[in-house]
Structure 1
Amino acid sequence: MNPDKVVREKLERFTDLPNIGPASAGDFVRLGFTHPRELAGADPRALYDRLCRLSGSRHDPCVLDVFMSVTDFLEGNPPRPWWQYTEQRKHRYGDLRDAGVPAAARKLSRPRPPAGV
């Protein structure tokens, strides 16, 4: 949901959270959550790493920005667009290449050079 439209007192679905659409709502279900309030106190990096492990691929780092926006909001802070967390994420977590992804999956997800190169 657009952060400007979030109503803190009406959090019944994951899509009621700031920056959460159907795809991200599905990620929370995949992570084992059934209600938005269950995310209170969650570690956004742990959520991101677990999602990468479950899917077997590294998700775009902006997914971590979204998780940071949700957990920050659930700590009582105002809803903010996910991209306002990008610099904080880069400072806090650095490079996320291959984050949370098993080595075997990393090897499969990288493009192979053309034959003879």
Structure 2
Amino acid sequence: MNPKKVVRETTRELTDLPNIGRSLANDLKLIGIDIPEKLEGKDPHKLYQKLCEMTGKRQDPCVLDTFMSIIDFMNGGEPKVWWSYTDERKEKYKI
């Protein structure tokens, strides 16, 4: 969902999260995340690595940016566009 349209109080489905559409919602389900609450306290890099393993291919690093955005949101942060995490991802994970 577009981060500008996200309302924390009505976030029930994965597609209610900032930056998450059907495709990424399906990817999250593949790695065991079927409701937004399961993202709380998770490590975005570990989820990214798990997705790469489960699909048998290296995912675009933008997926990691997106995972960072939704975990930050579920941990109380503001909904932000995924690319606002790119610099942090490059610095922290060197990807």
TM-score bucket of the superposed structures, by smaller chain: over 0.9
Mapping of residues 75-86 of structure 1, within 5 Å = 75-86=75-86
Q: TM-score, normalised by structure 1?
A: 0.79
Gaps of 5+ in 1: 96-117
How many aligned residue pairs are there? 95
- The residue identity in structure 2 corresponding to 1:60 is D
Q: Does 1:59 align with 2:54?
A: no
- The residue identity in structure 2 corresponding to 1:88 is E
Gaps of 5+ in 2: none
Separation in structure 2 between the aligned mates of residue 92 and residue 32 of structure 1, nearest angstrom: 24
- State whether residues 11 and 37 of structure 1, in contact with CA within 8 Å, keep that contact through their aligned partners in structure 2: no
Percent identity among equivalent residues? 52
SS of residue matched to 1:49? helix
Flag the structure with higher helix content. 2
Match of 1:43 in 2: 43
- State whether residues 48 and 67 of structure 1, in contact with CA within 8 Å, keep that contact through their aligned partners in structure 2: yes
- 1:11 is displaced (CA, Å) by 1.4
Structure 1 residue ranges (4+ consecutive) displaced by more than 2 angstroms after TM superposition: none
- The residue identity in structure 2 corresponding to 1:11 is T
Q: TM-score, normalised by structure 2?
A: 0.97
Match of 1:14 in 2: 14
